[in-house]
Amino acid sequence: MTNVLPFVGVLFGHGWVRALAGAGALMALSMLAGVDVVLRVPPLYCLTMPLGAVLFSYMLLRSMVFTLKQGGIIWRGTFYPLEALKRGAV
């Protein structure tokens, strides 16, 4: 959420919320642009971070919903129930 909420605050916030969210978003993008320079990739790649954060959040949420709905996970064709995973029995 720390990668998504500043951009939401910039778009939908008012007053101080928008200002603080803008500062947070600018700091995140600046740090990522610096990393891009060190890695020798175009600094404009930092602008894809909000989209990547939203997609990653969606993947986590979808995985959680399916795991809870099925009562466990399927890994390489084997079903592991949540109870066994919580006990560390697998």
What integer pLDDT is reported at residue 44 of this predicted model? 82
Domain count, the chain: 1
Check if the beta carbon of residue 26 is closer than 8 Å to that of residue 50: no
Distance (Å, rounded) from C-alpha 34 to C-alpha 47? Answer: 12
What integer pLDDT is reported at residue 19 of this predicted model? 93
Q: Is the pLDDT of residue 39 over 80?
A: yes
Q: 62 is in which domain, residue-wise?
A: 5-87
| pLDDT tens readout for residues 2-33 | 788 888 898 898 999 999 999 998 998 888 88
